[in-house]
Amino acid sequence: MSAQNRIPLNSEGLSLSRLVLGVWRLLDQGAKPSAAEVARLIDEAIALGLTSFDHADIYGNYGVEAAFGAGLAGWSGKRQSIELITKCDIMLTSSQRPDNRVKHYDTSAAHIKTSVDRSLQNLKTDYIDVLLLHRPDPLMDADETAAGLQDVVKTGKVRAIGVSNFTPSQIDLLASRLPFPVVTNQIEMSVTSTAPLDDGSLDHAQRLRYAPMIWSPLGGGSLFTGTGEQEQRVRAALQTVGDELGVDDISAIAIAWLLRHPARLIPVLGSLKRERLAKMVSALDIKLERQQWFAILKASTGQDVA
């Protein structure tokens, strides 16, 4: 993945790879991966051009960061050659967090600082490249939250701040209290989940020139296994476009559909299998024509545009 396939996030040199590897499934394979296996995963990702790794404190019942960090500690590469993204503010009811009596959100300055310190320890790193607030908190005090975020940036623990699943107005509120930009909003979008095209999320991103990260870019697997009318229509449309372009994998076409949008979407890939990742990365070489893009949209919505 060449330099032109990176996405700059701010004016201070921070950028992400054009596609990001999401590691939330790292502990979903049964046996916990060894440090050597995680280090090998990092190398395989980098070989595919995936230098950015998406985490959250809660992934794997609060266990993924530490498992990844064990591999990172023994990895032979240079820390500055990769980017680590993580998230905080979701508080799960879990044996790992016995004080949480009910699932809730916490965007207090104290929690932000504590969560960052814990993530740094788990990931075995001195800094986090991008910290995201994971979900909008209805009790967010914008002044207090911003103070906590400014503290972790000022102390060098975090390079940049973003959000996840925020509405445009929620981003505006937080941004109004920060002396630096909110660099991304990680939102759900795929060929079967197109709400951001109409809810203002992508318009807001283009207006403020930040690049949204995209979670579940393949619809959580429903694109391949779903039996509903929408999934069947979309699969057929992706296959038709793939046939036109000589591409035999519909996941690559689905990722290319996202990349075609001018808001500079950054899909977060969920597979940890090198073969599957390679097929999705091939989307970088696919340029959909405008009518091909709209044909896929029509298949998703079930109707022509107005």
pLDDT in tens, 231-281: 999 999 999 999 999 999 999 999 999 999 999 999 999 999 999 999 999
Beta strands in the chain (DSSP E): 6-8, 15-17, 20-22, 52-54, 83-88, 90-91, 104-105, 128-133, 158-164, 182-188, 213-215, 266-269
pLDDT, tens digit, 9 for 90 and up, residues 126-173: 999 999 999 999 999 999 999 999 999 999 999 999 999 999 999 999
What gap in Å lies between CA 70 and CA 303, rounded to an integer?
A: 49
User: Which residue in 27, 125, 135, 37 sits closest to 85, CA to CA?
Assistant: 125
Q: What pLDDT score was predicted for residue 29?
A: 77
User: What is 3-183's CATH topology?
Assistant: TIM Barrel (3.20.20)
What six digits make up the tokens of 218? 């393949």
- Full-prediction pTM beyond 0.85? yes
pLDDT at 4: 59
Q: Which residues are catalytic?
A: 59
pLDDT, tens digit (0-9, with 9 covering 90-100), for 170-217: 999 999 999 999 999 999 999 999 999 999 999 999 999 999 999 999
Tokens 């090198």 belong to 274
pLDDT of residue 221: 84
What does the radius of gyration of the chain's CA atoms come to, in whole angstroms? 19
Spatial contact of 153 and 8, defined as CB atoms under 8 Å apart: no
d(C-alpha 220, C-alpha 226), whole Å: 10
Nearest Cα neighbor of 100 from 86, 108, 90 is 90
Helix ranges (DSSP H) in 197-266: 201-208, 222-225, 229-245, 250-259
The mean of the pLDDT values for the chain is: 96
Structural tokens at position 256: 């290319």
Angle, vertex CA 51, rays to CA 274 and CA 13, nearest 5: 165
